[in-house]
Structure 1
């Protein structure tokens, strides 16, 4: 598989994760992205033995887009601190079913993950295992039955965007887990990590990478001119 590198230096590796590939090994036994990247580094740099590559954050298996990995233990530790302090700006594109009542707002929910079912539920704040989840979204375009949203995460809960947008009445296109009433089996989830921005853990300069969704694939193709930066929309929201 060809790996799309968005930024690389001695400390960090930022890449485009393909859809439908697990970030790390799981019970399915399928090839995972972390192992693929380690093998790629081993071949490209002719490294002997095991290759270190630290996992900084995750994307759900069906979701594609920007990811950052740490190439040294020092970078891994400092990137983990950025994640803990919520100092990494993460933006996503999502195509949702329907039109949100508010074109732009902040969503706050309390979430509980049932690990046995691998599913996340919205719960009340006093639930003993509740974790607060916060995101902002802004609608950039719409058709009669679909809306294109820009989403910024403020917390990193499992399945957060999928659960919160579904709870808001606009499940993500293709999401069978949190939108099974409106999506058909086989549809690809339309959620894409399109921006990462943070201070480099060693160089202390700002790193920002963009990665547009696959414009040739429906429903992204409906707004392909927007993804290319054309039209009259203010693309600063990306």
Structure 2
């Protein structure tokens, strides 16, 4: 079956859609929502798509349930009604939406790990750093990971977030000495021109209207550096 796209510029692959939900495969370097740059963003493009599909002149509702950093690609969940958005936000707050990321990192991490840091964001520089837990501006960040494979100085990790902080995966892994491949902001000696090897690859949650489990997953990429791994 041919994959469906938004027919926008750029095009966005649609992974799942019904009357209440839209799940897309966000391209790397595409903004999740509009910012000061004026560059294309997921919300604006997906609204264009929904408007084209409906044939209506009215602006469709589209709720952004969660975000991905601009350099990060993969699954994003959006709501096509305020009722669905509210119920999904409740699931997100209650941590019942399960999200899995794949990352290729530099170094040799252990077979698995639980990382706990306290992070603070410099909004002027759009940069996050780890700080002391006593810092009143810091927020606790928790993730777990399992190493899937190791090839020379690169490792493939499956990552599960327990909190959703800005740049969390990138900062926590870099803080431990395992920066994400292609991460120019938090990486070490990263050559220019690389697409960051961090993807949101799996979503599992309860449908906000039908109360049935929804499970979507992306195929493993076949291009470098992903192609170095056997998964």
Structure 1 and Structure 2 fold alike (TM over 0.5): yes
In the TM superposition, residue 135 of structure 1 has moved relative to its aligned partner by 0.6
Instruction: Determine whether 1:93 maps to 2:99.
Output: no
Partners of 2:56 and 2:204 lie apart in 1 by: 29
User: Which segments of 5 or more consecutive residues in structure 2 lack a partner in the other structure?
Assistant: 1-9
In the TM superposition, residue 124 of structure 1 has moved relative to its aligned partner by 1.1
Provide the secondary structure at the position in 2 that maps to 1:34: helix
User: Which segments of 5 or more consecutive residues in structure 1 lack a partner in the other structure?
Assistant: 227-238
Give the TM-score of the pair, scaled to structure 2.
0.93
Answer yes or no: is the 8 Å Cα contact 1:192–1:213 preserved in 2: no
Alignment match, 1:176: 184
In the TM superposition, residue 213 of structure 1 has moved relative to its aligned partner by 4.6
In the TM superposition, residue 219 of structure 1 has moved relative to its aligned partner by 0.7
Provide the secondary structure at the position in 2 that maps to 1:25: coil
Provide the secondary structure at the position in 2 that maps to 1:69: strand
C-alpha root-mean-square deviation of aligned residues, in Å? 1.1
Partners of 2:172 and 2:78 lie apart in 1 by: 26
In the TM superposition, residue 191 of structure 1 has moved relative to its aligned partner by 0.2
Instruction: Determine whether 1:108 maps to 2:116.
Output: yes
Give the TM-score of the pair, scaled to structure 1.
0.90
Equivalent residue pairs, number: 222
Answer yes or no: is the 8 Å Cα contact 1:65–1:213 preserved in 2: no
Partners of 2:158 and 2:23 lie apart in 1 by: 21
Instruction: Determine whether 1:201 maps to 2:201.
Output: no
Partners of 1:110 and 1:93 lie apart in 2 by: 22
Q: Alpha carbons of 1:2 and 1:116: their partners in 2 closer, same or farther (altered >3 Å)?
A: closer
Provide the secondary structure at the position in 2 that maps to 1:80: helix
Alignment match, 1:222: 228
Provide the secondary structure at the position in 2 that maps to 1:35: helix
Alignment match, 1:24: 33
4+ residue runs over 4 A deviation: none
Answer yes or no: is the 8 Å Cα contact 1:41–1:47 preserved in 2: no
Alignment match, 1:188: 195
Provide the secondary structure at the position in 2 that maps to 1:132: strand
Partners of 1:186 and 1:76 lie apart in 2 by: 36
Equivalent of 2:78 in 69, 73, 86:
69
